[in-house]
Structure 1
Amino acid sequence: MTDLPSRRAVAAGLFAAATPWPSLAAACPADRLGNARILHVGTKGGLQVGLKTYPAALPLGPKEVVLTFDDGPAPATTPRVLDALACEGAKATFFLIGRNAQAHPALVRRIRDEGHTLACHTWSHPWTMRDLSESAQVRQAEDGFKAIAAALGEPDAKAGQGAAAPFFRYPGFADTHAVNAWAAERDIGVFGCDLWASDWTKMTPEFQLARMLERLRHAGRGVILLHDIQPQTAAMLPAFLRALKGEGYGLVHLQPGPGRIETVAAPAGWTSETERIIAGVRRHRGA
């Protein structure tokens, strides 16, 4: 097996070969990554998926991946992410923060118009919903969906209806009983992820690319968490998409579907990585 330093060297080569933004659009590859398939995700009665948090995953085949982006839209970086995706004909799911959607409605509409899936990541992204009252937790979810709907010109759309998908993601994946119950009553699915880039930590795009590829090769498939507000992620993305194509990964685009999707159970010995991380953050913060 190739060692990690060697893989980092390969990743650096991929990064150097990818044309940097803003000239990206002029150098789109002829062999675009595209989308292997659409997966219609039914969320009737609620849904909780993502192996970092829950003992259930979406039914993805070997070397199938889903791209998801959190925390946007951000005018400095989200357009670069959208440009890279467009260049490869690739679709993703964007979990938007409500107040960012309210501040940048044109970007929300661009995400929709380019065929990506819109989803909710609360109104203001508290570091953890668990420190809020139950009523405040639900308001975070409701107001997040409302802001996305308003940005799309659908001010009367209820949560989980309209152009935004009935998909929700917690800040830090720290779920709560109150919002899980609220989501289930409204047929809204709760999404964790199966692997992440750790791009909330500052690193070079080259290092982030190497880390992401290492984790993906180990996992073999899954829902990937990235952040479109991070400049390093926007810079890394063209090379990462090229690597997905070069290594034979298929991109799966999530869209809402009827009923409730059949999930895949976690492997034996599974534990929640989210709970361990939240406990560590609390210790660090003295909470």
Structure 2
Amino acid sequence: MKVLRAALVAMMASTMAAQATDCPRAGTLGTSRTLAVDPTQYPRVGTKNFPQTLPLDDHEVVLTFDDGPWPPTTSKVLAALSKECVRATFFLIGQPASQYPEMVRRIAAEGHSIGHHTWLHRIVTRIKPSEAIAEIDRGISAVETALHGVATTTPGTPFFRFPGFESTPATLNLLQSRGIAVFSADLWASDWNPMTPAQQLNLLASRLKVARKGIILLHDPKAQTAAMLPAFLRYLNDNHYRVVHLVPIVPDSKPDPVPPAAGLSPVEKRD
């Protein structure tokens, strides 16, 4: 039975990889592989805040976008990703998701993963604990309603990112108890600061040269990011980077576990 199960998992992984790399346009960046993330194994990832990150190889990157949806710029981001056959993860805020449900559904329909980013983007360390939980729950429910038409605090994709990367032990433990992975990042474009698309590209490229891989944070509501993205995708392609697409693990079909970072338990907390 173990051999059969392993064969089935391998077949599923092969199918996902084939779907990820299939692109009708020659010379595009594409998506090199799909990584199924198990929140029980990787409850908190991203070296900005945590000691552990995703098991990426050298020159592998994960593209993530926060704070959408915002149709004027999110549509441009989606167009740039589509042109290069690249799939990303969007951490959506609940209020704009409820205002623009058609954009939420478009993001999912184009093959991207949808995570959660609270209801109003309030910093949870600056509000009461009960308000922090409500901020998380209402945000998840709004996105799930926009996406599936069902109000629930159990996300279809159990990926979450805290606004400003700021969390509390209580909110971290709450999400872990619900089987929701918390994402930080490994590098970012600092696109919350005003700069030209060219300046942003140079900053991000310089950071990537040092990091060589990792979870990248961008913001799709930022006009400068939407303008910069086509050039950044070309940069990734020209410099032989590979894009990894994140999806939640399928229940009852877990692959062999990937060993956590040396010396760390998958649930070890950072002080």
Which band: TM-score by shorter chain?
0.7 to 0.9
Q: 1:145 — aligned with what?
A: 140
Alignment partner for residue 238 of structure 1, among 230, 246, 261? Answer: 230
Q: Partner amino acid for 1:77? A: T
Alignment partner for residue 119 of structure 2, among 118, 123, 127? Answer: 123
Structure 2: gaps (5+ residues): 1-23, 265-270
Give the structure-2-normalised TM-score: 0.83
The CA deviation at 1:30 is 3.0
Work out the CA distance in 2 between the residues paired with 1:140 and 1:266.
Answer: 34
Q: 1:63 — aligned with what?
A: 59
Question: Following superposition of structure 1 onto structure 2, how do residues 136-215 of structure 1 map, counting pairs within 5 Å?
Answer: 136-160=131-155, 162=156, 165-215=157-207
Whether 1:83 aligns to 2:53 is no
Work out the CA distance in 1 between the residues paired with 2:42 and 2:242.
Answer: 27
Q: 2:218 — aligned with what?
A: 226
Q: Which has the higher contact order (CA 8 A, sep 6+)?
A: 1
The CA deviation at 1:46 is 6.8
Work out the CA distance in 2 between the residues paired with 1:184 and 1:131.
Answer: 21
**In the alignment, is the contact (CA less than 8 A) between 1:45 and 1:188 conserved in 2?**
no
The CA deviation at 1:263 is 3.7
Work out the CA distance in 1 between the residues paired with 2:32 and 2:225.
Answer: 23
Cα 1:122/1:178, change in 2 over 3 Å: same
Alignment partner for residue 109 of structure 1, among 105, 111, 128? Answer: 105
Deviations 1:94-135 (A, max 9, x none): 000000100110000000000000000011001x21011111
Structure 1: gaps (5+ residues): 1-27, 268-274, 276-287
Deviations 1:6-59 (A, max 9, x none): xxxxxxxxxxxxxxxxxxxxxx96311111100100013870110011111110
Alignment partner for residue 264 of structure 1, among 250, 257, 261? Answer: 261
Percent sequence identity is: 46
Q: Partner amino acid for 1:206? A: A
Cα 1:116/1:130, change in 2 over 3 Å: same
Question: Following superposition of structure 1 onto structure 2, how do residues 34-49 of structure 1 map, counting pairs within 5 Å?
Answer: 34-44=30-40, 47-49=43-45
Work out the CA distance in 2 between the residues paired with 1:256 and 1:200.
Answer: 28
Work out the CA distance in 1 between the residues paired with 2:170 and 2:200.
Answer: 35
Cα 1:265/1:193, change in 2 over 3 Å: farther
Cα 1:106/1:253, change in 2 over 3 Å: same
Q: 2:127 — aligned with what?
A: 132
The CA deviation at 1:264 is 3.0
Runs of 4+ aligned residues of structure 1 deviating over 2 Å after TM superposition are 156-160, 258-267
